[in-house]
Structure 1
Amino acid sequence: MELSNNPRSRGHEEAPPVLLSDLTQVKNSSFSAAQQQGYSATIFLRRKDKLEKTQQKCIAIFALLCCFAVLLVLIFSSVDLWGDSEDGITEENCRTDCRIVLMETIPEDLKEHLNARPHLPLFVGFHALLDRAKHSVQVVSPVWNLRPLEEESTPTTGRQGQLLFQRLLTLKSRGVKLKIASSLTNSAEQKILATHRQRTPESQLFSCITGDFFFLPDTPQRKELGLMVYNCSCLALDLHRVFSFYWQLHERDYIPSIWSKRVTALYGRHQPLELQLNNTPAVAYVSSSPGLFCAKERTKDVDAIYHVMQSAKTFVFISVTDYLPLVSRRLRGTLVTRYWSPLDEMIREAVVLRGIKVRLLISFWKNTHPLTFNFVTSLQSLCMQLYNCSLEVRFFSHKEQNDDVQHGLNHNKYMLTDNALYIGNHNWVGNEFSDNGGVGLVVQMKNRGGKIMEQLKAAFERDWTSPYSKSLLGNQDRYDKYGHLH
């Protein structure tokens, strides 16, 4: 037996030879498999990325839809949607051929010395409005005292208040809806009226501006002046929108940032309502305050006063209960007071820079702030040694009957010029314009004169020259160290 010298053959069988072509095929197969796996992974990653992007788009669209839905809810929940119309009155079909009447209540013990020419009393005017109401009555009033206690009223005032209260109670039987907006929520009178009214809101077909909001049922113990406008549905519609604003605030404890067009002002300083007042061409608009309560396009009271004062050519007559250009705030338990300049600066500008004759009639009563005398003295000092400068200040003072009730208080809050008037419900006190809700009415006659302007001027001059009007200068000895008038 022949032994082989090849060591690989010892104890082993010889392996079959491997060709280069076979190795190449194996490598190619492995590369193809790896390439196939890489391609599959790429497709998977692409599909995964596309799926993620699709999901992100869906989430974004869903989020936008949610935001849009929330926005719609905010818009439509910020105000009540009252059906398809406001009693059928629109800006296109409302009436502008109006009649305006001066109303005035003068207490009995003032009439003799005032030698007052009789105007329509507030009590009679309120009843006339209620008689004319066909669909609804809307009342904004911070004070309710139609049924005063016997010790707080005279037989006349008590009877008038009771009659007006009973008239309000009969509205439901006539199919007239009553709606009240008031900061006073625990009034016994309102609770009784609540059982007689329906909550479905309607718009009124009349309008009334007095010294305390749109429609103030007041007792004749105060001297009060107001304006009543008949058959003026355009103006009433705008007042209705102010009422709508107040009503929405009454139902929530915050001021929405978005409001419906149902409370947007129809008329304002830059676009007033053109109308006929007692057959005399005029323009008018409703203002409001504070600024937070002014819906879109609504003119602020301070701006309305400035507009009227700027339009004056010869004189400005102002009759207010209080005049105090200060604002007081309580910060961290401390009362902080600062100067509130707008109205004070308007008067100074009119007198000094434009030569306008200004008369300021202020009520003197138990709540008159002592600093009032400082401010009016400062105003009067403007005309010292100035040619063609006229600024006079007087105080309307009447005795107080007791410690609780101020009888004969001059409660007027209006301004009259040679061609325009403003009547509101705020005293000319900084805190009232910045903190309290209210409205004002601006009327400007296109032609000089007008019966209503003549009547209002006569009423002011009657009060100005009355025995109850006392000049600050020449009567310094009448004031004690606390600024009280003797």
Structure 2
Amino acid sequence: MAGPTTQEPVKTQQKCIAIFALLCCFAVLLVLIFSSVDIWGDNEDGITEENCSRDCRIVLVENIPDDLSLHLDGRSLLPLSVGFHTLLEQAKHSVELVSSVWDLNSSELDPIPSAAQQGQLLFQRLLSLKSRGVRLKIASSLTNSTELKALAAHNAEVHFVNMTALTRGGLHSSFWIVDRKHIYIGSADMDWRSLSKRKELGVVVYNCSCLALDLHRVFSFYWQLHERDYVPSIWSKRVTALYGKHDALELQLNATPATAYLSTSPELLCAKDRTRDVDAIYQVIQSAKTFIFISVTDYLPLVKRSLRGTSVMRYWSPIDEAIREAVVLRGVKVRLLISFWKKTHPLTFNFVTSLKSLCLQLHNCSLEVRFFSYKEHTDDFQLGLNHNKYMVTDNAAYLGNHDWVGSDFAINAGVGLVIKMEDGPRDRGVTVLEHIKAAFERDWRSRYAKSLQGSKDQQGKYRHPQWPKNHWETKEENEWNKPF
């Protein structure tokens, strides 16, 4: 009877090596999964979707520069600075903050130092959070901010999000979360101009931990991108969206039934179940029955991409087509208020002219466009700038961080809030939608909103007669008009 061959020990050894290799691969995979994100996420202070608060109070906050003469119709408007300080007064445990700009202290070159006092006061309040035992966490894409360094020296935790590496864009998000209960979303940055010289609009929502918990998940998404140069493919459930366009949060806003949800952009930074900003805007436009009022700094349905080392511009259709459909096919009245300032792209007028032409020789068709302009020629081109970024309709509102420019939604990080009022008795009182609508109509009827008429120059470029002579020579314009 023949004994065991010498090949059997070799086969056994090979099997052991193969099993060991598989175990090593499995271990490496586990390490990669658990290191790609914080699997357990941040402590959510015991607040869950089941026990969070849905009985919320919402307040519209605005900054209107002192030298901007706007007729107020008697409605009480909460100044933006008061809204921020109220949030800090409410803070007992934590303040989580995202802003694209950190410039609360005035520049030495500023000709009006007193205008920056509100910014300086807010910065001192942030510094003082340490003495009250309040934890300050900041997500930012700024690497060399003296203000962030000063806050970090006072125990603030600052995480850097490398948006250039992630999307070749920027972190345009602007929101606050206080104690996982109160939130702010709007157009204002942590910039002294937002508290004095620029026109801003946003909302503060109090005692709304359901919504705050979901916004905290957006913050956690940014937080976990700290110094990464890639977006992990596997994420913790703690950053998965709680609410979206198909399953919005049902809540009470100032004792009125409503629904709400958050949206984000770009698509690469949308966690599971999170609605994209562009889809949120599309849904609000689609649901409008009688009117759509839009107020943005810039409107440009173009996206700029790099192709084989050259810059290429493409038509970016989602929002532009949704507006056209609402006007022509559904007879919805549309008003579009755009800022007219140094950085307005000349092609804006071409797209505006195209939109306005829709209603030529059409009955029951109404699309109006006006440009909000405070001062034509100033050294500080942000003086009096209408920095708003919102839309309000007969039944919903969208407040975001982006201008309606295709490239912003494609590569820049932003957050939006959709609020929809439930159909009900008309004696429900004045809702936040009516406050936003009143703010829009005030701006629309002001002497700063004008229907500008332009013409083409000898090169065939659309130019408005009031356009600064050197506008075409600005860096921004040259960047946009590279051959493609």
Percent identity, please: 69
> Are positions 1:297 and 2:273 aligned together?
yes
Q: Distance in 2 between matches of 1:264 and 1:273?
A: 15
The answer for unaligned runs of 5 or more in structure 2 is 160-177, 467-484
Structure with greater helix percent: 1
Residue 458, structure 1, aligned to residue 438, structure 2: yes
- Is 1:124 matched up with 2:82? yes
Q: CA RMSD in A?
A: 2.5
Separation in structure 2 between the aligned mates of residue 55 and residue 467 of structure 1, nearest angstrom? 87
Letter in 1 for 2:383: H
The structure number with the bigger radius of gyration is 1
Deviation at 1:54, TM superposition (A): 4.3
Task: Give the counterpart of 1:255 among 231, 238, 256.
Answer: 231
Deviation, 1:178, is 0.7
Please, which of 201, 212, 229 is the counterpart of residue 225 of structure 1? 201
User: Once the 2 structures are TM-superposed, how far is the Cα of residue 68 of structure 1 from its aligned partner?
Assistant: 2.9
1:470 pairs with 2:450: yes
Amino acid of the residue matched to residue 109 of structure 1?
A: D
Deviations 1:205-235 (A, max 9, x none): 311101157x777332100000110011111
Which residues in structure 2 correspond to 1:211-360 (within 5 Å)? 211-212=187-188, 218-360=194-336
CA-CA distance at 1:282 after TM superposition: 0.8
Shift of 1:249: 1.8
Which of residues 92, 97, 100 is equivalent to 1:142?
100
TM-score, normalised to structure 1's length? 0.85
What is the CA distance between 1:405 and its match in structure 2?
Answer: 3.9
Q: Look up the SS of the partner of 1:152 in the other structure.
A: coil
SS at match of 1:128: helix
For residues 429 and 136 of structure 1, the distance between their equivalents in structure 2, rounded to whole angstroms, comes to 34
Which one is further off, 294-303 or 387-396?
A: 387-396
CA distance in 1, matches of 2:278, 2:333: 20
Do 2:40 and 2:236's aligned partners in 1 also have CA atoms closer than 8 Å? Answer: no
Runs of 4+ that moved beyond 6 A = 477-481
Asked if 1:157 corresponds to 2:131, the answer is: no
Aligned residue for 2:23, secondary structure, equals: helix
2:401 corresponds to which residue? 425
Q: Residue 12 of structure 1 corresponds to which residue in structure 2?
A: none
Look up the equivalent residue of 1:127 and give its one-letter code.
H
User: Which one of 410, 416, 419 corresponds to residue 443 of structure 1?
Assistant: 419
Aligned AA for 1:138?
Answer: E
- Offset at residue 72 of structure 1 (A): 2.4
Q: After TM superposition, list the pairs within 5 Å mapping 1:9-408 onto structure 2.
A: 36=1, 39-40=2-3, 43-44=4-5, 48-49=7-8, 51=9, 54-80=12-38, 85-112=43-70, 117-152=75-110, 154-199=112-157, 204-212=180-188, 218-400=194-376, 402-408=378-384
Deviation of 1:423 after TM superposition, in Å, equals 0.4
**Equivalent residue for 1:415?**
391
Amino acid paired to 1:235 = L
Structure 1 405/145 Cα, relative in aligned 2: closer, same or farther at 3 Å? farther
> Which runs of 5 or more residues in structure 1 are unaligned?
1-35
Supply the distance in 1 between the matched residues of 2:399 and 2:63 (Cα, whole angstroms): 15
- Mapped partners of 1:107, 1:425: distance in 2: 20
Cα deviations by residue, 1:20-63 (Å, 9 ceiling, x for unpaired): xxxxxxxxxxxxxxxx5xx33xx426xx34x5554454444433
Query: Following the alignment from structure 1 to structure 2, what is the Cα–Cα distance between the partners of residues 351 and 175?
Result: 53
Contact 1:226–1:423 (8 Å) recurs in 2:
yes
The number of residue pairs the alignment matches comes to 441
* Code of the aligned partner of 1:368: T
The CA deviation at 1:451 is: 1.6
In the TM superposition, residue 91 of structure 1 has moved relative to its aligned partner by 1.4
Q: Which whole-Å CA distance do the structure 1 matches of 2:51 and 2:375 have between them? A: 50
Alpha-carbon deviation of 1:100? 0.3
- Which amino acid is 2:5 matched to? F
Which residue number corresponds to residue 174 of structure 2? none
Q: Scaled by the length of structure 2, what TM-score is found?
A: 0.85
